[in-house]
Amino acid sequence: MPRTVLATFPLLLLFACRADSTAPVAPAAGAPGSLEALAQGRELTPDEARAALETFVPPGKYDEFVMVTSGGHSGSIYLIGIPSMRLLKEIPVYAPNSWQGWGQGDEEASRLWKEGTFAPGNPNLPTQTWGDLHHPQLSLTDGDYDGEFVFVSDKPTGRVAVIDLRDFKTKQIVKTPNVISDHSGVLTDDSEYFITSTFQPAPGGPGVYAPLSEYQEKYRGAVTFHKFDRAAGRIRLDQSFQIELPPYTQDLSVAGRGPSDGWFFINSLNTEMATGGDLEGKDPIEIGASQNEMDLMHVINWKRAEALVASGSPKVITKGGIKVIPLSVARDEGLLYFVPESKSPHGLDLTPGGEYLIASGKLDPHVTAYSTVAIIKAINEKNFEKNDPFGIPIVKLDAVRAGYVEVGLGPLHTVFDNKGHGYTSLFLDSAVAQFTLGPPYNKPEDAWKLTDKISIHYNIGHLQTPGSNTKHPRGRYLVALNKWMVDRHTGTGPLHPQNLQLIDISGPKMRMLSESPIIGEPHNSHIIESTKIAAWRVYPPGTDPASMKPGPNATKQGDERIERKGKEVHVHMVVIRSHYKPDIIRVKQGDHVTIDITNAESAEDATHGFGLHGHNITASIDPGATQRVEFTASQSGVFPWYCTEFCSALHMEMQGWLLVEPK
């Protein structure tokens, strides 16, 4: 710290700690050039000046935490430094990205997309190039972040993706069989399964039809346990399983741990099974789905379900390439139960030790805490009030409710700190409420009490604290992920960005520190120590990013060549500052061209691009990597390419020719 700052910092803090810390800085303070004078000059309150000092990360210094957040409509993941809130990186998943050449001629991304959308099993449907990425989940080992992988859900498509945090690239996209959409995506404590549940029920996967008049009979929700093979870094559908659920709208979910280990919990709404039909004289879904006072939390004994699948029981069917437990089997085998919850619930979160589920009904100003031990006990003792229309038992609410805290209007999601608090986002109040958890986090007399509330600016959705989804929340910071920006930043057109707000939760009162706009509505996120992510700085020579190993397509310097076999042209290219070798590729119209590009650089960040005119192809080749681009030269002409990264003094000279002779 420079000496001038050291000299004035204590002074600033002193007057920052006065009782009325929101008042403008007292005019008396501050020698010219001092921090006080600076704060005065910028009309900062002591609180604001303090927040600026607490969140400023000087040039060249690293942020303590990284937030891995959903990029919502962008179809990407964003990495954001905390406390600076600087955007560090975008990881494209479901949508094209020019910078990284993602999905724009790069064979790997194109292959992932084809595998991971409604096509190609359904040739009448196009490959999907948009996503609405809601729920990222950092991989866990023994219930804590290990910094190895990120799993992500996609609301419109019912698919999941796996990102490797060694190179921050999407490695796999898997279409969940037998479903159209999903929403929630969470892990078990050792990343054994990434679990998604459907959002909108359907009679089956893409292409399966049944009229809405057969909704109750034919439409189903599903929960899918995607088996993760950690050694391979891939999901294995052949070892995964799915459980059919009633055609309610399943929403957020959480996997048990500690006393609730082996169980899985999902919120649901529209237990009325409303299907809309406003032009057909029926209630719109909004009305039809709001009739019941209580909706139903799904309680799933997934360990027992896993055992049933492993037993080879004929009751488990195979459908769409995955083992499926039909709804009636789930009922008869005691795999599925319900617990009543306040109507139209959204968030469902588990305390760090697995003792309590915190659920919020959007229309009830309370959060409800359920004891997981009591739920399991009530199931074992058959303490049921009735069955749902599918014969699934509903546990008595009185037997399982541990706490009921009035927090405010529109409660959504809850996160936790390391001091025995829960924090709930209030969508309608635009606020965050802090409350005390029950034992063992607090004494019974101190449990389930509202302790603080802070105003947020417009319609908060998710919120997050470091390590909240783990056994060991770290506390300190809370990020509010807000839906609307309204007047918080300079106007940038009718469509505003969304807005993140950083809050200090280390003291007795929550304090707003800073805010930053972000592109694409963020939903869930996880926050991890920066030092816990073991990113590679360069690839070992010739690495195929798909396998993370030296690949067969790599070309050594001196071995560059063009091979022709009939209409097949195979180019083995090496790039290094500041040229491509070869830099001329001659083909005949109609030839199929494969170019394997190896970046021979070993210097950090020495990435080269390959932007080819006319073919919708751009690739980004990281140091050490080999990337493949592939196309058919259908049009004769002269199509130069160039390097899209300003990589050197002779970057402008880094270019080449694709010459397509007419046939």
Locus of tokens 């992932």: 112
We find the least distance from the C-beta atom of residue 106 to ligand CUA, in angstroms, to be 17
- Where are any strands of DSSP class E within 486-625? 498-504, 511-518, 525-529, 543-544, 549-550, 561-565, 568-576, 579-581, 584-588, 592-599, 608-612, 617-621
Query: What does 298 interact with, of ligand CUA, ligand CUK, none (CB < 5 to 8 A by kind)?
Result: none
H helix or E strand, kind and range, residue 235: strand 234-245
Query: What does 91 interact with, of ligand CUA, ligand CUK, none (CB < 5 to 8 A by kind)?
Result: none
CA distance linking residue 432 with residue 434, whole number of Å: 7
Locus of tokens 């029950």: 438
We find the least distance from the C-beta atom of residue 200 to ligand CUK, in angstroms, to be 13
Contact call for residues 320 and 178 (beta carbons, < 8 A): yes
We find the least distance from the C-beta atom of residue 645 to ligand CUA, in angstroms, to be 5
Query: What does 183 interact with, of ligand CUA, ligand CUK, none (CB < 5 to 8 A by kind)?
Result: ligand CUK
Q: Are strands 460-464 and 477-482 parallel, antiparallel or unpaired?
A: antiparallel
Query: What does 608 interact with, of ligand CUK, ligand CUA, none (CB < 5 to 8 A by kind)?
Result: ligand CUA
CA distance linking residue 467 with residue 464, whole number of Å: 9
Buried b (16+ CB within 10 A) or exposed e, 11-50: ebeebbeeeeeeeebeeebbeeebbbebbbeeebbbbbbb
DSSP code at position 35: H
Query: What does 526 interact with, of ligand CUA, ligand CUK, none (CB < 5 to 8 A by kind)?
Result: none
Quick one: CA dihedral 443, 449, 452, 458, positive or negative? Answer: positive
465 versus 607: smaller Cβ distance to ligand CUA? 607
Q: Under DSSP, is residue 366 helix (H, G, I), strand (E, B) or coil?
A: strand
Query: What does 643 interact with, of ligand CUA, ligand CUK, none (CB < 5 to 8 A by kind)?
Result: ligand CUA
We find the least distance from the C-beta atom of residue 70 to ligand CUK, in angstroms, to be 8
Sites of contact with ligand CUA (CB under 6 A): 578, 608, 643, 645-647, 651, 654
Q: Environment class of residue 559 by beta-carbon count within 10 Å: exposed (0-12), middle (13-18) or buried (19+)?
A: exposed
We find the least distance from the C-beta atom of residue 577 to ligand CUA, in angstroms, to be 6
Neighbouring C-beta atoms of residue 509, cutoff 10 Å:
11
| Residue 549 neighbours by CB under 8 Å, 6+ apart | 543
Residue 380's identity, in one-letter code, is N
Q: Under DSSP, is residue 580 helix (H, G, I), strand (E, B) or coil?
A: strand
End-to-end CA distance of the chain: 69
We find the least distance from the C-beta atom of residue 329 to ligand CUA, in angstroms, to be 58
104 versus 249: smaller Cβ distance to ligand CUK? 249
Q: What angle do CA 479, 190, 480 make, to 5 degrees?
A: 5
DSSP code at position 251: E
Query: What does 645 interact with, of ligand CUK, ligand CUA, none (CB < 5 to 8 A by kind)?
Result: ligand CUA
Nearest partner of 601 among 621, 619, 581, judged by Cα? 621
255 versus 647: smaller Cβ distance to ligand CUA? 647
We find the least distance from the C-beta atom of residue 608 to ligand CUA, in angstroms, to be 4
5 versus 603: smaller Cβ distance to ligand CUA? 603
70 versus 240: smaller Cβ distance to ligand CUK? 70
DSSP code at position 620: E
At 278, phi and psi to the nearest 5? -65, -30
Query: What does 651 interact with, of ligand CUA, ligand CUK, none (CB < 5 to 8 A by kind)?
Result: ligand CUA
We find the least distance from the C-beta atom of residue 65 to ligand CUK, in angstroms, to be 20
Contact call for residues 255 and 187 (beta carbons, < 8 A): yes
Contact call for residues 244 and 324 (beta carbons, < 8 A): yes
We find the least distance from the C-beta atom of residue 462 to ligand CUK, in angstroms, to be 5
We find the least distance from the C-beta atom of residue 168 to ligand CUA, in angstroms, to be 20
Cα 618–chain centre separation? 26
We find the least distance from the C-beta atom of residue 653 to ligand CUA, in angstroms, to be 9
Q: Under DSSP, is residue 39 helix (H, G, I), strand (E, B) or coil?
A: helix
Percentages (nearest 5) of helix, strand, coil residues in the chain: 15, 40, 45
35 versus 252: smaller Cβ distance to ligand CUK? 252
Contact call for residues 394 and 384 (beta carbons, < 8 A): yes
- Where are any strands of DSSP class E within 185-233? 185-187, 193-197, 221-229
Query: What does 220 interact with, of ligand CUA, ligand CUK, none (CB < 5 to 8 A by kind)?
Result: none
Residue ranges of alpha helices (H) inside 231-326 are: 285-288, 302-310
Query: What does 270 interact with, of ligand CUK, ligand CUA, none (CB < 5 to 8 A by kind)?
Result: none
Query: What does 647 interact with, of ligand CUA, ligand CUK, none (CB < 5 to 8 A by kind)?
Result: ligand CUA
76 versus 104: smaller Cβ distance to ligand CUA? 104
Query: What does 346 interact with, of ligand CUK, ligand CUA, none (CB < 5 to 8 A by kind)?
Result: ligand CUK
199 versus 641: smaller Cβ distance to ligand CUK? 199
Residue 214's identity, in one-letter code, is E
400 versus 576: smaller Cβ distance to ligand CUA? 576
14 versus 650: smaller Cβ distance to ligand CUA? 650
Query: What does 462 interact with, of ligand CUA, ligand CUK, none (CB < 5 to 8 A by kind)?
Result: ligand CUK
Query: What does 73 interact with, of ligand CUA, ligand CUK, none (CB < 5 to 8 A by kind)?
Result: none
Shortest-Cβ-distance residue relative to ligand CUK? 461
We find the least distance from the C-beta atom of residue 556 to ligand CUA, in angstroms, to be 19
98 versus 442: smaller Cβ distance to ligand CUA? 98
We find the least distance from the C-beta atom of residue 643 to ligand CUA, in angstroms, to be 3
Sites of contact with ligand CUK (CB under 6 A): 134-135, 183, 252, 346, 412-413, 461-462, 523-524
49 versus 68: smaller Cβ distance to ligand CUK? 68
- The pair of three-digit structure tokens given for residue 377, joined into one six-digit string: 């006990």
343 versus 523: smaller Cβ distance to ligand CUK? 523
166 versus 413: smaller Cβ distance to ligand CUK? 413
We find the least distance from the C-beta atom of residue 153 to ligand CUK, in angstroms, to be 8
